[in-house]
C-alpha cells in the first residue's frame, strides 16, 4: 500500500517530512514509508475480516484486539498510522486516540467520547457520527442490523434512534446526533419528541449511566457505519504506557478498561469495535514488576469488596497478563529494512524540496538505534546540508529515557469553559 514518492505532490511530500520532524507519522509519511511489521499487519487483517463478516441475528461479533509493544521510538505510532489507513482503505470507520490527560484510560466515558470525536470516514471532515447519521437510509437493507439492534437496547437509547428515524424537528434531531456523539440529552426532551411522533407509549424513558451510554454510543457508531456501507469501527489507542504514571487505583481501573477495549474474555467487550493498543516494552518491568501491580491491584480491589470490584480485579489481572505475555512485539529494524526506509525517505525528501539528498547509510551499517533516531538524524542532516551547503554536520543526541513517575496532576479534571 506504500506510495512511491514520485506519485506524491511536493506539498504532500513536505507534509510528510514536516510530520516526521515531530515524530508524528502523518498520513503522507505513512503512505510513503510503508510498514515493515508484517506479523502485525497479518494479525490486523484477520481482525478486520472478522469484523466485516455479515451481521447475524445476534448482532456484531466480538473481535478481540491486539496489544503491540515496542521501545520508545521503535515505530508504534507509525504502525497505528498505517493501520488507520488500512482501516479506511477497507471501508472501516477509523479512530485514533492518544491516551493523555484529556483521555485517561481509566475513564471509559472520556475515551469513548474521544474515539467518537476522532472517528474518520473517507472524504469527510468533522464528526463521523454526524456524517453517518446524516446519510443513513433506514429503509435500506444495510440498515436492518441497526434497526434490529435498536430493539435490544435500553429504551432511552432506542427512543433516540426511533426519533432520528421519524422526527421532523430539526432542532431535536441535531440534539440527538450531538447526543450520539457524546452530548447531553434530557429525558424530558426525548419524551417531548416521542409525543411529536405519537410514540409516547412505545418507550419507557429513564436515565442511563454515563458509562452505559458511552458503550451504547460506540456500538451505535458501528451500526451506523454498517448502515452506510462501511464495515465497522476500528479504535487505535496510542501511548497506553501513560497509565504507568497514575496512582495504583487508577492503574487498576485502566487495566480493566484495557481488557474491555481488547475484548478479553469476561471483560464486557464492545461488539462491532476492534482495537489495537500500543505500549512501551519496558512497562512490564518498570511498572508491573517493580511496583508489584500484578499482586497489589487485585488485592486492593478485592479488599474493597463488592461484585463490581471483583469483576474489575479479574479484568485488570487479565490485562496485566496480556502485557506480560500476550502482546505482539514490534520487530527491530534489520539492515535491509533500515536501508529500505532510508531510501524511501530520501525519495520523499527529494520530492519535497527538489533537492537530491545524499545517502547517509554506510555500506556496513548497524541497527543499534531506534527507527525514530535514524529518521530524525537523516532529516536533520539533509536539512542542514541543503540550507548550508558545504557545512560539516556533527549530530549529537540526548539520551531519552522513559519516566513512569506517578503524577497526580494527570488525574486532575480538566477545566471547562464558563460557557459550558
- Are 367 and 335 within 8 A, CB to CB? yes
Query: Binder to other proteins among 49, 174, 290, 336 (CB under 8 A)?
Result: 174
Considering beta carbons, is residue 251 or 300 the nearer one to other proteins? 251
**Residues forming beta bridges with residue 94, ordered by sequence position:** 120, 234
- Are 79 and 68 within 8 A, CB to CB? yes
Contacts of 302 (CB under 8 A, 6+ apart): 309, 310, 313
Binding mask 224-253 for other proteins (x = CB under 8 A): ---------------x--x-----------
Considering beta carbons, is residue 101 or 339 the nearer one to other proteins? 101
405 binds other proteins (CB under 8 A): yes
In 3D space, the residue among 220, 245, 216, 222 whose CA is nearest the CA of residue 235 turns out to be 222
Q: Which stretch binds other proteins (CB under 8 A): 26-34, 191-199, 281-289, 315-323?
A: 26-34
Q: Which stretch binds other proteins (CB under 8 A): 149-157, 265-273, 288-296, 377-385?
A: 377-385
Q: Which stretch binds other proteins (CB under 8 A): 167-175, 193-201, 249-257, 341-349?
A: 167-175
Distance CA 124, CA 81 (A): 18
Considering beta carbons, is residue 130 or 154 the nearer one to other proteins? 130
53 binds other proteins (CB under 8 A): no
In 3D space, the residue among 35, 116, 135, 117 whose CA is nearest the CA of residue 77 turns out to be 35
**Subset of residues 326 to 365 that bind other proteins, contact rule: CB under 8 A:** none
388 binds other proteins (CB under 8 A): yes
Binding mask 61-80 for other proteins (x = CB under 8 A): -----------x--------
Q: Which residue has the cell 426511533?
A: 162
3 binds other proteins (CB under 8 A): no
Q: How far is the CB of 88 from other proteins (least distance, A)?
A: 12
Phi, psi of 56 (to 5 degrees): -85, -170
- Are 29 and 16 within 8 A, CB to CB? yes
Binding mask 175-194 for other proteins (x = CB under 8 A): x--x--xx------------
Binding mask 115-154 for other proteins (x = CB under 8 A): --x-----xxxxx--x---x--------------------
Cα maximum dimension of the chain? 81
Long-range interactions of 175-183: CB distance < 8 A, separation 24+: 177/127, 177/129, 177/130, 177/133, 177/134, 180/116, 180/129, 180/133, 180/217, 180/220, 180/221, 181/116, 181/117, 181/127, 181/129, 181/130, 181/217, 182/112, 182/113, 182/116, 182/117, 182/214, 182/217
Q: Which residue has the cell 479504535?
A: 235
Q: Strand 328-329 vs strand 273-280: parallel, antiparallel, or unpaired?
A: unpaired
Query: Binder to other proteins among 24, 46, 296, 335 (CB under 8 A)?
Result: 24
- Are 92 and 233 within 8 A, CB to CB? yes
Q: Which stretch binds other proteins (CB under 8 A): 50-58, 158-166, 173-181, 304-312?
A: 173-181
Query: Binder to other proteins among 57, 198, 363, 420 (CB under 8 A)?
Result: 420
170 binds other proteins (CB under 8 A): yes
- Are 95 and 102 within 8 A, CB to CB? no
Q: How far is the CB of 86 from other proteins (least distance, A)?
A: 16
22 binds other proteins (CB under 8 A): yes
Considering beta carbons, is residue 198 or 420 the nearer one to other proteins? 420
Give me 327's grid cell: 502482546
**Residues forming beta bridges with residue 66, ordered by sequence position:** 276
Q: How far is the CB of 55 from other proteins (least distance, A)?
A: 28
Contacts of 128 (CB under 8 A, 6+ apart): 93, 95, 116, 119, 120, 121, 221, 225
Interface positions with other proteins (CB under 8 A): 10-11, 14-15, 18-19, 21-24, 26-28, 72, 98, 100-102, 113, 117, 123-127, 130, 134, 170-171, 174-175, 178, 181-182, 239, 242, 373, 376-377, 380, 383-384, 387-388, 391, 393-403, 405, 407, 409-410, 412-417, 419-420
Amino acid at each position: 500500500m506504500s506510495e512511491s514518492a514520485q506519485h506524491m505532490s511536493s506539498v504532500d511530500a513536505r507534509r510528510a517530512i514536516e510530520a516526521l520532524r515531530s515524530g508524528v507519522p502523518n498520513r503522507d509519511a505513512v503512505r510513503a514509508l510503508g510498514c515493515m511489521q508484517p506479523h502485525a499487519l497479518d494479525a490486523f487483517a484477520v481482525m478486520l475480516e472478522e469484523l466485516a463478516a455479515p451481521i447475524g441475528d445476534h448482532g456484531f461479533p466480538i473481535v478481540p484486539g491486539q496489544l503491540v509493544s515496542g521501545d520508545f521510538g521503535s515505530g508504534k505510532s507509525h504502525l497505528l498510522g498505517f493501520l488507520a489507513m488500512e482501516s479506511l482503505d477497507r471501508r472501516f470507520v477509523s479512530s485514533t486516540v492518544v491516551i493523555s490527560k484529556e483521555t485517561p484510560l481509566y475513564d471509559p466515558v472520556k475515551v469513548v467520547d474521544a474515539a467518537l470525536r476522532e472517528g474518520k470516514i473517507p472524504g469527510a471532515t468533522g464528526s463521523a457520527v454526524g456524517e453517518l447519521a446524516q446519510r443513513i437510509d433506514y429503509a435500506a437493507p444495510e440498515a436492518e442490523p441497526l434497526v434490529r439492534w435498536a430493539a435490544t437496547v435500553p429504551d432511552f437509547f432506542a427512543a433516540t434512534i426511533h426519533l432520528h428515524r421519524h422526527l421532523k424537528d430539526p432542532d431535536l434531531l441535531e440534539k440527538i446526533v450531538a447526543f450520539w456523539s457524546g452530548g447531553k440529552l434530557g429525558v424530558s426532551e426525548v419524551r417531548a419528541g416521542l409525543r411529536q411522533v405519537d410514540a409516547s407509549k412505545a418507550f419507557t424513558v429513564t436515565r442511563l449511566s454515563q458509562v452505559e451510554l458511552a458503550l451504547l454510543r460506540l456500538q451505535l457508531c458501528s451500526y451506523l457505519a454498517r448502515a452506510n456501507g462501511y464495515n465497522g469501527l476500528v479504535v487505535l489507542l496510542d501511548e497506553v504506557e501513560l497509565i504507568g504514571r497514575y496512582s495504583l487505583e487508577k492503574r487498576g481501573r485502566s487495566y480493566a478498561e484495557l481488557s474491555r477495549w481488547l475484548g478479553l474474555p469476561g471483560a464486557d467487550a464492545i461488539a462491532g469495535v476492534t482495537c489495537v493498543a500500543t505500549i512501551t516494552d519496558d512497562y512490564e518491568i518498570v511498572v508491573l514488576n517493580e511496583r508489584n501491580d500484578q499482586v497489589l491491584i487485585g488485592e486492593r480491589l478485592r479488599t474493597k469488596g463488592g461484585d463490581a470490584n471483583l469483576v474489575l480485579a479479574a479484568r485488570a489481572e487479565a490485562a496485566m497478563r496480556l502485557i506480560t505475555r500476550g502482546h505482539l512485539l514490534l520487530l527491530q529494524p534489520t539492515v535491509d529494512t533500515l536501508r529500505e526506509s532510508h531510501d524511501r525517505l530520501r525519495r520523499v525528501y527529494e520530492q519535497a524540496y527538489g533537492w537530491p539528498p545524499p545517502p547517509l547509510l554506510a555500506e556496513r551499517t548497524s541497527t543499534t538505534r531506534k527507527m525514530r533516531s535514524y529518521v530524525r538524524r537523516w532529516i536533520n542532516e539533509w536539512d542542514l546540508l541543503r540550507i548550508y551547503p558545504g557545512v560539516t554536520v556533527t549530530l549529537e543526541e540526548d539520551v531519552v529515557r522513559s519516566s513512569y513517575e506517578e503524577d497526580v496532576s494527570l488525574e486532575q479534571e480538566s477545566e471547562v469553559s464558563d460557557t459550558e
